[in-house]
Structure 1
Amino acid sequence: MQAKTKFLLTEDWTVVVLGFLIIILSLSGLIVPVPALKWVNVTELIDKILSLANLLKFVAQFLLIFVVAMLGALAMGRPIKKLLVVVPVVYILTIIALIISGSASMRSLNLEGVIFSLGIGLAISNFFRLPKWFVANLSTELFVKIGLVLLGTSVIFSDILKAGSLGLIQALLVVLSVWYFAFWLCKKLKVDQELTMMISSAVSICGVSAAIATSGAIKGDPKKLSYVISMVLITAIPMMIFMPYLAQYFNLSQAVTGAWLGGSIDTTGAVVASGSLVGEEALKISTIVKFSQNVLLGLAAFAISVYWTYTQKPDGQAVVEKPTLRVIWERFPKFVIGFVAASLLFSFALSQEAITGVKDSLKNLQGLWFALAFTSIGLETKFSELFDKHSKTPFYAFLIAQLFNIVITLMIAYMLFK
């Protein structure tokens, strides 16, 4: 038996291998076509989204997802028989969610696609009794971490400089101050450690992506992650609508307003929409500031990983002991290495022409893996577990931290961009 299992990979190393397999295939010319998802009316839905040419793109996309999922199961020594049913079902539900989110009415709300995939999963799991074997074979962690490795391909170091020095300075000040305040507040309110880390990152860095990366770095509970994502998306909508009017009421310049919006609103789509309401200059600066925060995600994920592996006690251990370097390495989430390696590859080793050729396809696949993960989270989560009696305190902590974020970001934006 030992001879059969000694070549098996852990989940983290598996996602690094699979993530780079996707990247290498893309760079070698195997570009997965990006299906159209945006539509305005029923006619366009039928003629464009459901056309034979677009459906074939979905099929090509599914084949890649299916093969990668099977390879992952084999690499980790998991049975694949039931995955032959689970993976296609999760993919179909996810595509339905993404098509719904692609409608003009849904896009006008600037909600990210993952909220729809999570919603469909939750609706099914709470109104229908799913077989235990189906729920047990959902590959949530695999999907999330492959998406995170691919996310590294969009974090280009040279773009940090292009974002502008003021945008980067603001991003650093906001991320550090807001993250520490949120962390301190959650500790004071006795929020559990996993939620504390996810809330702190989501409020201070870049919302959904930061929460996902942090959850992966600390091996967090997917149900807690879905709760944090829900809070991020719920609060982004009123902020997107009302903050431009507050800026107008206080007679803030477009530059200050843009920096304020970009530094405090947690989702990129909401930042763009809010900046557009103010003006061209506000839109430009808000995008620069938000991008500056996004590119800090890799550094933050690495720092959080090191902190978490160093401070957490193993199961069953009564006290926290300072672990050796070997123990830190064993606990360290290896997908972070894949994330950083992908970022370095696309930052320094590849030509701009090569990056341009694969950028859209890899970005689409990255978003798809995240959406698949959230469909899976929904399918394994009950509303009673997502919003139980213990959920009020983390929600209050999130709201207070978000209010602090709004105030401190406005002060920093005013000092730097007035």
Structure 2
Amino acid sequence: MSTSSAKLTLHEDWTVVILGSLIIILAIAGFLLPVPVFGWKTTAELSEKVLSSANLLKMLMQFVFVLVIGGVGALMIGKSVKNYALGFPLVYLLTMIALVMAGSKQAKSLNLEAVIFSLLIGLVISNFFKLPEWLKSSLSTELFVKIGLVLLGTSVIFTDILKAGSLGLIQALAVVTSVWYFAFWVCKKLKVDDEMSMMISSAVSICGVSAAIATAGAIKGDPKKLSYVISMVLITAIPMMIFMPVIAHYFKFSQEVTGAWLGGSIDTTGAVVASGTLVGEIALKISTIVKFSQNVLLGLAAFAISVYWTYTKHPASKDKDTKPSLGVIWERFPKFVLGFIGASLLFSFVVSPATNVLVKDSLKNLQGLWFALAFTSIGLETNFKDLFNENSKKPLYAFLIAQTFNIFITLGIALILF
């Protein structure tokens, strides 16, 4: 992975912190977007409430606001603003359709959230139609989900972090260590190459896409192999996100245990948030805290991987760009976590309760919107056929075996700690 790619990734995280902070500051200053209505029970309510001119105007106001924020983000991370401006209206329209579908009485009775519909709509389109390259390049999945996560910090009060954070860190250490070594062992048994083994092990054990990217940067991994690992992460996250909350409900796990299980098992942060949302507020907060505890370990893991890769049998990595240093930890640390923590501290100790009540609905609405936009984008950029060719079978088997182990070991640790 080139140095420019590493800088771009770092720049994206700082961009997210800036944009998320801007949205929060605007809300506190009194710039509150009206919240559209999406709930409906009958076709008459759908027509009179959801599709009314007043409600459509609220959706339009949201569109303009998010278009501008996302456009600034695209500019800051070096993406084509023109392609973003052309592609975003489609992403937004599909997301609105998903929100309307999720607002139906039937969907609510099944506890189906908008992110599931967003994902499914995107997957149907991407797997049955060939998308133009300009549209694919306009998608900003990571930007959307990370902005949503910064906004999520406004609803996570610091006392909750103090209560669950230490347990989350203990779980993260136990899970990351055991799952990483098991995944690496399975890869070796199946004769998966070293680069792919390192990326799979990190992706399964730490935090999915971010860990795979960080590992690829530490070992100068093949971008095609990285893309394949990311595809596995995204596709396996889909059934986990949907079925794990159902399993937790069936076995009557507490929200604390369920949140810890989801946060420690599901590889993508956005899917953790979506699955936590399906369970409840407590599960959402615990799952996010546990996932962030794993994210904190990302820099340390990248440092350890770079040490291993530099001083073992990989002479191609022995140059000044990959020599391990303290800077590696800071370079690989996911900066958007700072935005989440900052928002949590702000609403825990600075913002008055009255102001919190005033702004929370608007911020929560925007938080959900960013997540839904992210999952529409994930669906649009995911193609199932990438996982079903002869060359990809062994890495896929290794990933699935490691992920299964991850699910069970994390559940056991969550039951003990929470």
Give the TM-score, by structure 1 length: 0.75
Residue type of the alignment partner of 2:368: G
State, as a whole percentage, how many aligned pairs show the same letter: 42
Q: CA deviation at 1:86?
A: 0.5
SS at match of 2:119: helix
2:398 aligned to which of 393, 400, 403: 393
CA change 1:215–1:48 in 2 (3 A) is farther
Residue type of the alignment partner of 1:200: S
Query: Could you list the runs of 5+ residues in structure 1 that have no partner in the other structure?
Result: 1-8, 202-209, 245-255, 273-286, 414-418
Pairing of 1:119-130 with structure 2 (within 5 A): 119-130=120-131
Tell me the matched-pair count: 368
Counterpart Cα distance in 2 of 1:180 and 1:217: 17
Counterpart Cα distance in 2 of 1:243 and 1:330: 41
Q: Is the helix fraction higher in 1 or 2?
A: 2
Contact 1:231–1:395 under 8 Å retained in 2: no
SS at match of 1:110: coil
| Equivalent residue number for residue 148 of structure 2 | 147
| Equivalent residue number for residue 188 of structure 1 | 185
1:308 aligned to which of 299, 302, 305: 302
CA change 1:291–1:146 in 2 (3 A) is closer
Moved more, 179-188 or 217-226: 217-226
Contact 2:153–2:343 under 8 Å retained in 1: yes
Deviations 1:177-220 (A, max 9, x none): 4444333332222274444444335xxxxxxxx76776798798
| Equivalent residue number for residue 23 of structure 2 | 22
Counterpart Cα distance in 2 of 1:132 and 1:10: 23
Deviations 1:159-180 (A, max 9, x none): 346x6xxx77765655544444
| Equivalent residue number for residue 317 of structure 2 | 318
CA change 1:298–1:217 in 2 (3 A) is farther
Contact 1:147–1:366 under 8 Å retained in 2: yes
Residue type of the alignment partner of 2:115: V
Contact 1:144–1:212 under 8 Å retained in 2: no
Counterpart Cα distance in 1 of 2:347 and 2:212: 24
Does residue 233 of structure 1 match 2:241? yes
SS at match of 2:301: helix
Counterpart Cα distance in 2 of 1:34 and 1:225: 33
Does residue 294 of structure 1 match 2:276? no
SS at match of 1:82: helix
Counterpart Cα distance in 2 of 1:120 and 1:370: 14
CA change 1:265–1:139 in 2 (3 A) is closer
| Equivalent residue number for residue 344 of structure 1 | 345
Residue type of the alignment partner of 1:227: I
Pairing of 1:139-218 with structure 2 (within 5 A): 139-160=140-161, 174-190=171-187, 192-200=197-205
Contact 1:168–1:293 under 8 Å retained in 2: no
Q: CA deviation at 1:231?
A: 3.5
Counterpart Cα distance in 1 of 2:378 and 2:255: 34
Moved more, 142-151 or 122-131: 142-151
Contact 1:34–1:57 under 8 Å retained in 2: yes
CA change 1:260–1:333 in 2 (3 A) is closer
Residue type of the alignment partner of 1:29: G
Residue type of the alignment partner of 2:342: A
CA change 1:399–1:331 in 2 (3 A) is closer
Q: CA deviation at 1:25?
A: 0.8
Contact 2:235–2:382 under 8 Å retained in 1: no
Q: CA deviation at 1:62?
A: 0.8
Does residue 137 of structure 1 match 2:138? yes
CA change 1:57–1:260 in 2 (3 A) is same
Moved more, 293-302 or 393-402: 293-302
Does residue 242 of structure 1 match 2:250? yes
Q: CA deviation at 1:156?
A: 1.9
SS at match of 2:231: helix
Contact 2:157–2:347 under 8 Å retained in 1: yes
SS at match of 1:363: helix
Deviations 1:2-41 (A, max 9, x none): xxxxxxx932222222111111111111112222223333
Counterpart Cα distance in 1 of 2:145 and 2:200: 17
Does residue 45 of structure 1 match 2:46? yes
TM-align CA RMSD: 3.5
Counterpart Cα distance in 2 of 1:213 and 1:104: 36
CA change 1:104–1:193 in 2 (3 A) is farther
| Equivalent residue number for residue 104 of structure 2 | 103
CA change 1:195–1:30 in 2 (3 A) is farther
Counterpart Cα distance in 2 of 1:332 and 1:160: 19
Does residue 223 of structure 1 match 2:231? yes
Counterpart Cα distance in 1 of 2:62 and 2:284: 30
Q: CA deviation at 1:64?
A: 1.0
